[in-house]
Amino acid sequence: MTLTQQLPILVVVVPLFIAPLLSMITGRSNLPWLIATITSALTFLIAVGLTGQVLANGELFYELGNWPVPFGIGLTIGPLAAMMLLIITGASLAGLLAGKRSMEVELGEGQPSLFYACWLLALAGLIGITVTGDAFNVFVFMEISSLASYVMVANGPNRLALTASFKYLVTGTLGATFYLIGVGYLYMMTGTLNLADMASRLEGISDTLPVLMAGGFLMLGLALKAALFPMHAWMPNAYQFAPTPVAIFFAACSTKVALFVMLRFDFVVLLPNLGAHAEILSSFLIPLCVAAFLVGSAVAIFERDLKRMLGYSSVAQIGYIVLGMSLVTSAGLTASMIHFFNHALIKAALFTAVAGIFLRYGSARLDDLAGLGQRMPLTMFAFVLAGLSLIGVPLTAGFISKWYLIQAVLETGSLGILLTILILVSSLMAVVYVWKVVEVAYFKAPTEPVTRQEAPLALQLVLWVLVLANFWFGIDPSLPLTLSTMEASTLLGAGR
Amino acid sequence: MTEPTLILLSLAIPLLGALVIALTGANKNLRDSLMVVSALLVFLTVLSLLPSVSAGGRPAISLFEIMPGLAMAFSIEPLGMVFALVASGLWVITSVYGIGYMRGAHEKNQTRFFACFSIAIFAALGVAFAENMFTLFIFYEVLSLSTYPLVAHKGDENAKRGARIYLGLLLGTSIGLMLPAMLATWWLAGTLSFQPGGILQDNVSRGIGAVLLILYMFGIGKAALMPFHRWLPSAMVAPTPVSALLHAVAVVKAGVFTVLKVSIYLFGLDYLQSLWSTDLIMWVAAFTLLSASIIALQKTNLKARLAYSTVSQLSYIVLGAMLANQLAVVGGGLHIVMHAFGKITLFFCAGAIYVAAHKTEIRELDGLGRKMPITMFAFLLGALSVIGAPPLGGFWSKWNLMLGAVDAQQSIMIAVFLLSTLLNIAYLVPPVIRAFLLAPPKDDEYHTKPGIQEAPLFCLVPLCITALGAFSLFFFADPVRSLIESMFVSVR
């Protein structure tokens, strides 16, 4: 086998093996950061390669140790998984490149090597969840990434990070436990852990009570992990108190990985085997999604802390994503998956800007940020541009998401009109909270004279690459669009 | 140069201009002269497209497709040509005036101001040239966003509050009403391009069409139909050149221009006539027209009065579109031009008065005609043109609109037009009377100085030019009218 055929396993193994090695480095130097960044860049390149392969040949299968599935573990990388890999590795790389200075400042006395080892473990865990085709593997990788992320959040500059991390831990553990119970039920009924195999073995016993129970536990557990309203409380907290580079990394991808698993279970395993699953999904999830984007946006308007505001904005955005899924149509799925990608771009850009601001001001509270527009004009301008994408102004990636989501929603008839109105209301609320920042930054007179002091060059570069990507994919959305439509047709094809 | 290149050039120059202005900000004279040069270049570029359009051509270019069938594309038809000429032509004059005003009034942040101004013109031209609703929408939003810093320019609480209302209403209506209308149009008709005769009549039932019309007409917040007109008076906190060019010409006219475009090229006049909501919007426009005039009567601040006058005049054009016949629509198109010249003159005068005498209230104008005779005479001409009295350009557009109302057998609307003309006289003539006929206040510092004290030449010359323009348009209205009428002739 050539190296290119080994890419599916390499993308997990590389960060997983480098992490423990990294933790052995002692003392304070740039070496741990450098190694983590190089590893992250490497996985990003692998992800790009994998995406190329998926675009060319469709879904990739990889059998670990050449053991045939379902006896051995199989890896599957479909179009959506490829997109997720791009998001995860890209976000990790962006966070590391942009956040070097921030981490030096925010981490304080700790051992940098241990922190970066955790970073790589989280990376490996998230990637692992994405590539594996095995339900129990998902749990294992979920635990790896979660445990590492608890540590990373707890490293925040404020002591409140400890309680934030504890909340995150409790919720995360609950979610993982529910997930495990669900998988347990399914294993009990089918004797297999491979998702595709599970789907086919369930055929004879569809609609039985344990399968229904499993579905319930899985959904609940994953919704907790994904911070779907009303199980979102941990997330804005974690983003606020985590070191800002960690927020860049996690805001772009961590909850989406849970949504990714949810998608796989919903459409590959449950939809064909639970008669009423589509109805359950729609009637149960649509109200939650609507509440998510309305409440999320409304709370974001009243938040005075930039990081927390963006956290609540993420609650709203997750509402959009899940809304697309819960329509159970091809258009809805496509819209949902496009927003996976676009939201990652938007939030990564916004949090990168916030990292720069936090670095210079030592605070992300709106009250402290007067004169920001003069002190860091480039950073703030980038923030405004990314904010426009968040609102969904045409020519930005955010607009493409909204466009597809509304088209998908309109297909559902009269309910669609109501949902369209609600989506637009929530977009308008986004205008309000983005503009609140603009006003403080540009039009609030600072108390003391400001001197120009931009964010570090590396951060600026990452920030502008992300902002330009927002516009690039707003003008030419073919990459996420192709991947999403490919995946939507496989997912619904499997179900029908 | 080929026509597509010229279109791109006319959009690129103001955008580059903004960049150049931002970069040369340190050297004031260089920056300002470059700005005037770029304004002139834009105007000439737009002008060079005129012969082909008036010969019946439709210069067009498609840049890229965002989604299949949804392209960023430009195509110039007569109405867009007229709007582009007005916006770019008056920009040349305003840029000169702006230099005089901003320096005379010692405003801060002039570089940001002029750069945003340039971007706003870029957006207005994009609106004028848009080939489809999607492209128009993009530039419409750019226009809202790029003018926000201009409105909030002063940066004090008052300016910020005004700018917040401004942006909130414009973005709110466009995202909340126009965007869904556009999405529904796309979903039902499968296209968003502007086509003679409209794209909706074959695809959309009357009931849905009527709802779409309501969404569009209120969604185009820049046309300032009540109850979404509040942004325009709020925008008056901006420096006067902004009020003059943007809130008498570019921004508001982009709004009514969009109304005309949507009526003619998305709905089509025949289809429009058959919708029940056309009447509804017509009545809303008539109400706006009259009540804004009455509010203007009560305003004692000069700029606030002019702002409400603009709200009222914009409704003339919306009303014209809703009458849905050729005469009225041509009248609406003409009114874009005529009102632009009249109103920009009035605002220029208000700015000149502020720069020279620091007066903003109407009661302070007493006796000012003796100190600033040229300015006040220009004010008179502008006022007469807005009123629609001969021999000024404003006469022709009102004439056409009224003929349109006769043609549509809307006798009440004729009465509305007449009544509103009376109201126009009632609120625009008193300032002139005060200035020329009343005695100046005794102990006013400004009036105790002897001699004539006009605003700087940079302010004075532009306002004379626009006043003369309003005057000469009475005699040269015909070329404009035939150009606008040519949009109903089938394309070559």
Helix (H) or strand (E) holding A15: helix A7-23
Number of C-beta neighbours around residue A16 at 10 A: 18
Task: Note if the bond before A230 is cis, omega within 30 degrees.
Answer: yes
Contact A425 B176 (CB under 8 A): yes
Residue A273: what residue type? N
- Bridge partners, B132 (sequence order): B193
CA trace torsion A355, A361, A362, A364 (10° rounding): -60
Give the separation between CA A341 and CA A326, rounded to whole angstroms: 18
Q: Which of residues 458-477 of B touch A (CB under 8 A)?
A: none
Separation between Cα atoms, residue B139 and residue B145, nearest integer Å = 10
How many whole angstroms from its chain centre is CA A486?
20
Q: From the CA of A424, how many Å to the nearest CA of chain B?
A: 6
Q: Cα(B282)–Cα(B270) distance, rounded to whole angstroms? A: 16
Smallest CA–CA separation between A243 and chain B, in Å? 33
On chain A, the residues whose CB falls within 8 A of the CB of B72 are 475
CA B345 – CA B358 distance, rounded (Å): 18
Judge: B66–A420 Cβ closer than 8 Å, yes or no: no
Residue type at A285 in one-letter notation? L
Tokens 């149509």 sit on residue: A329
- Range with top average pLDDT, A207-216, A381-390, B370-379: A381-390
Interface confidence: ipTM more than 0.90: no
Residue A495 is predicted with a pLDDT of 43
Taking Cα atoms as reference points, which of B467, B470, B457, B443 lies closest to residue B97? B457
- Tell me which residue in B138, B168, B172 faces A394 most closely, judged by beta carbons: B138
Of residues B172 and A1, which shows the higher confidence score? B172
B389 close contact with A: CB closer than 8 A: no
**Which chain B residues in 70-89 lie under 8 Å from chain A, judged by CB atoms?**
72
SS (H, E, C) A20-80: HHHHCCCCCCCHHHHHHHHHHHHHHHHHHHHHHHHHHHCCEEEEHHHCCCCCCCEEEECHH
Touching check for A418 and chain B: CB below 8 Å? Answer: no
Are A257 and A88 spatial neighbours (Cβ–Cβ below 8 Å)? yes
| Residue position matching structure tokens 């609600």 | A422
Average pLDDT, chain A: 88
Which residues does chain B have with pLDDT short of 50? 491-492
Candidate from A424, A443, A445 with C-beta closest to B175: A424
Contact in structure between A41 and A161 (CB atoms under 8 Å): no
> Is residue A160 less than 8 Å (CB to CB) from chain B?
no
Q: Are B372 and B357 contacting, i.e. CB atoms less than 8 angstroms apart?
A: yes
Query: Helices marked H in B110-205 — which ranges?
Result: 110-129, 133-151, 157-173, 179-189
Closest by Cβ to B183, choosing from A406, A443, A476:
A406
Rounded Cα distance, B237 and B245, in Å: 14
A420 with B152: Cβ contact below 8 A: no
Contact assessment for residue A399 and residue B183, using Cβ atoms and an 8 Å cutoff: no
**DSSP secondary structure letter of residue B367:** T
B113 vs B96: CA distance, rounded Å: 14
Report the C-alpha gap between A143 and A122 in whole angstroms: 9
For residue B201, report the phi and psi dihedrals to the nearest 5 degrees: -60, -30
Tell me how far apart the alpha carbons of residues B387 and B395 are, in angstroms, rounded to a whole number: 8
Q: CA-nearest residue of chain A to B190?
A: A407
pLDDT in tens, A31-87: 889 999 999 999 999 999 999 999 998 888 888 888 887 778 888 898 999 999 999
User: To probe the interface with B, which of A391, A403, A427, A472 has the most B CB atoms within 10 Å?
Assistant: A403
B157 vs A: CB within 8 A? no
CA angle at residue A430 from A427 to A434, to 5 degrees? 150
Distances, alpha carbon A267 to alpha carbons A260, A364, A438, in Å: 11, 40, 41
A476 to B66: CB separation less than 8 angstroms, yes or no: yes
Q: Give the model's pLDDT for residue A180.
A: 94
CB contact under 8 A, A439 and B160: yes
Q: Which residues of B touch A441 (CB under 8 A)?
A: none
Q: Is B197 left (phi over 0), alpha (psi -120 to 50) or beta?
A: left
**Per the CB < 8 Å rule, is B183 touching A410?**
yes
Chain B residues lying within 8 Å of A442, measured CB to CB: 149, 152
Q: Are A476 and B64 inside 8 Å of each other by CB?
A: yes
Strand partners, A74: A63
The Cα A167–Cα A164 span in angstroms is 5
d(CA B295, CA B309): 9
Contact A421 B171 (CB under 8 A): no
- What angle (nearest 5°) sits at the alpha carbon of residue B470, between those of residues B126 and B223? 40
Omega into A210 within 30° of 0, i.e. cis? no
Partners of B72 in beta bridges: B64
Name the residue among B124, B165, B115 with its Cα closest to residue B142: B124
Quote the minimal CA–CA distance from A418 to chain B in Å: 11
Nearest to B211 by CA among B221, B200, B202, B222: B200
Query: Residue B437: what residue type?
Result: L
Give the three-class secondary structure for B440. coil
Residue A381 in contact with partner chain B when CB distance is under 8 A: no
Tokens read off for A62 = 């990889």
Determine the Cα–Cα distance for residues B230 and B236; give it in Å rounded to an integer.
11
Q: In angstroms, rounded to a whole number, what is the distance separating the alpha carbons of residues B214 and B259?
A: 11
Distance CA B164, CA A152 (A): 39
CA of A407 vs chain B CAs: smallest distance (Å): 7
Q: Token pair 């703030």 is at which residue? A: A380
Dig out the tokens for B288 from the structure: 């706006």
Query: B116 to chain A: which residues are within 8 Å by CB?
Result: none
Partner residue opposite B141 with nearest CB, options A393, A432, A439 = A393
Judging contacts by C-beta atoms under 8 Å, the chain B residues touching residue A394 are 134, 137-138, 141
Cis, bond preceding A70 (omega within 30 deg of 0) = yes
Residue B65, strand partner residues: B71
CA distances from A84 to A36, A377, A441, B52 (A): 20, 32, 34, 52
Entry pTM: 0.83
- Predicted pLDDT at A496: 40
Q: What angle do CA B32, B341, B97 make, to 5 degrees?
A: 20
On the 0-12 / 13-18 / 19+ scale of CB atoms within 10 A, B442 is: exposed
Distance CA A263, CA A130 (A): 11
The pLDDT value recorded for residue A142 is 92
> CB distance A442–B138 less than 8 Å?
no
**Does the N-terminal peptide bond of residue B227 adopt cis geometry, omega within 30 degrees of 0?**
yes
A384 pLDDT more than 60: yes
Q: CA A213, CA A189: separation in Å to the nearest integer?
A: 11
| Ramachandran assignment for A362, one of left (phi > 0), alpha (psi -120 to 50 degrees), beta (any other) | left
| Nearest residue, CB atoms, A475 vs list B66, B180, B187 | B66
Q: Decide which of A262 and B28 is more confident.
A: A262
Q: Hey, are the CB atoms on A474 and B67 less than 8 Å from each other?
A: no
pLDDT, tens only, A264-296: 888 888 887 777 777 877 888 889 999 999 999
CB pairs under 8 A between A and B: 60
A453-479 tens-digit pLDDT: 888 888 999 999 999 999 999 888 889
